[in-house]
C-alpha cells in the first residue's frame, strides 16, 4: 500500500483509508461483525487510516471501532480520525453546529471513551459554526493538541479562504471534502490551497455514493437510506439518468479488466498527492475492489478517456438537497 502525508508535519498514512459512516445505519442496517470484517480486510491490505465521527449512528461507529481495538493485543494498527461540532437544538430537535471550546472538548472526551483510546490522530470540526471565527476555533483545537488529546486537527467541508485563515493560526493537517468523478468542486480552489499549505485533502464519497461502481444503487436501496432518498442525485427522475450517464465508466473498467470502483479510486489518486480517499462499505468484497484502486497505474490515454466519458458537470441533480446543504461552505 502506497502512503501519503497527513498534513504538513504529519505522519505517512495509507493512500486509501476507511470511511466509518457505513459502520452505522446511514446507508442501511449493518452488524458489528460485518464492520469488524471490513477492519480485518483493511489490516490485511495495509490500510492504517480510519475516519469516523461522533454522529455516525449516534456514536455507534466509534463504539464498533472501539470494540474491535479492545480485542487486539498491542497498540492500535490504525491512525484514527473522528469529528465533533454537529449537534441538535434541545428545544426544536433541529440540527445545528456548535464550535465552542466547551462543546468540542466534551464531545471529544465522549469519542475517546467510545473508541477506548487516550488520543486520536486527527480531530475534525465536522461543520463550521458561523457565529465563531475560525481563528478562535483553530485556537481551541491547538489547545487540544497541547493537552495531548489529539495529535493534529482538520476541518470538514470548508472553503479555501477558511482554510487559509485557519492556517495562519496553526498548521491544518487535513480538510475533508466530497470529491469524486461526479463531484469535482474541490478542483476550483481547494486542492490548490491544500497543496500550497501541505494540508491533506481527505476525499469522502470517492465512488459517488455507489454510482461509480459495478452495482449502482437500485430504487430499493435508495428508499432504504434516509439520506439517499432525499438527495437530488438519487430521485426517481435523476437516478436512471445518472446510471445511464455513468455507464461508459463501467464499460471502460470492464474493458480494462478492473472494477469500476477501483478505476474511480485510481482516477482520484491521480488528481493530487494531497488526496486521500476514504471509501466506506458494508461488503468485504466491495472493499477489496475499492482498495485495488490504490495499486492501479493509469496512463494518459486512459485518463483522457475517463474525462471524455465523464466530463465535469455530467451528473444530474445537485450534490445536496436544501436541507442537506446547510453547513458545508460554498466557494464556487
Task: Name the residues annotated as catalytic.
Answer: 56
Do 142 and 169 contact (CB within 8 A), yes or no?
A: yes
Q: How far is CA 32 from CA 39, 116, 258, 278, in A?
A: 11, 16, 29, 19
Instruction: Please provide residue 130's backbone torsions phi and psi, each rounded to the nearest 5 degrees.
Output: -65, -15
Instruction: Please provide residue 327's backbone torsions phi and psi, each rounded to the nearest 5 degrees.
Output: 125, -60
The closest of 208, 197, 204 to 314, measured between CA atoms, is: 208
The closest of 87, 76, 74 to 112, measured between CA atoms, is: 76
* DSSP state letter for 159: -
Annotate 223-290 with DSSP letters as a single string.
Answer: HT-TTGGGSGGGSTTHHHHHHHHHHHHHHHHHHHTS-HHHHHHHHHHTS-TTEEE----S-HHHHHHH
Run of H or E residues at 119:
none
Reading the block at residue 220, the C-alpha cell is: 430499493
| Phi-psi sector, 57: left (phi>0), alpha (psi -120 to 50), beta | left
What's the CA angle centered on 97, arms 25 and 178, to 5 degrees? 55
Q: How far apart are the first and last CA of the chain?
A: 34
Reading the block at residue 115, the C-alpha cell is: 473508541
At how many degrees (to 10) do helices 101-115 and 60-70 cross? 40
Amino acid at each position: 500500500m502506497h502512503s501519503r502525508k497527513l498534513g504538513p508535519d504529519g505522519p505517512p498514512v495509507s493512500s486509501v483509508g476507511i470511511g466509518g459512516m457505513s459502520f452505522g445505519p446511514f446507508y442501511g442496517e449493518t452488524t458489528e461483525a460485518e464492520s469488524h470484517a471490513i477492519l480485518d480486510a483493511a489490516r490485511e491490505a495495509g490500510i492504517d487510516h480510519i475516519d469516523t465521527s461522533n454522529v455516525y449512528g449516534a456514536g455507534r461507529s466509534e463504539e464498533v471501532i472501539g470494540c474491535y481495538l479492545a480485542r487486539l493485543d498491542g497498540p492500535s494498527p490504525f491512525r484514527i480520525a473522528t469529528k465533533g461540532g454537529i449537534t441538535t437544538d434541545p428545544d426544536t430537535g433541529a440540527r445545528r453546529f456548535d464550535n465552542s471550546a466547551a462543546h468540542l472538548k466534551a464531545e471529544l472526551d465522549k469519542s475517546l471513551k467510545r473508541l477506548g483510546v487516550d488520543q486520536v490522530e486527527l480531530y475534525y470540526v465536522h461543520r463550521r459554526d458561523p457565529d465563531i471565527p475560525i481563528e478562535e476555533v483553530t485556537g481551541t483545537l491547538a489547545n487540544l493538541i497541547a493537552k495531548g488529546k489529539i495529535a493534529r486537527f482538520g476541518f470538514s467541508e470548508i472553503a479555501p479562504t477558511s482554510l487559509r485563515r485557519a492556517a495562519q493560526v496553526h498548521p491544518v493537517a487535513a480538510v475533508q471534502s466530497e470529491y469524486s468523478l461526479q463531484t469535482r468542486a474541490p478542483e476550483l480552489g481547494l486542492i490548490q490551497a491544500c497543496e500550497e499549505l501541505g494540508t491533506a485533502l481527505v476525499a469522502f464519497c470517492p465512488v459517488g455514493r455507489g454510482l461509480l461502481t459495478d452495482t449502482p444503487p437500485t430504487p430499493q436501496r435508495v428508499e432504504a437510506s434516509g439520506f439517499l432518498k432525499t438527495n437530488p442525485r438519487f430521485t426517481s427522475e435523476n437516478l436512471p439518468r445518472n446510471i445511464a450517464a455513468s455507464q461508459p465508466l463501467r464499460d471502460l473498467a470492464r474493458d480494462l479488466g478492473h472494477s469500476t470502483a477501483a478505476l474511480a479510486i485510481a482516477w482520484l489518486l491521480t488528481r493530487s498527492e494531497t488526496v486521500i480517499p476514504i471509501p466506506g462499505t458494508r461488503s468485504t468484497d466491495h472493499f477489496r475492489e475499492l482498495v485495488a484502486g490504490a495499486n492501479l497505474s493509469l496512463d494518459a490515454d486512459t485518463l483522457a478517456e475517463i474525462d471524455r466519458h465523464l466530463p465535469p458537470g455530467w451528473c444530474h441533480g445537485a450534490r445536496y438537497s436544501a436541507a442537506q446543504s446547510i453547513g458545508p461552505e460554498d466557494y464556487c
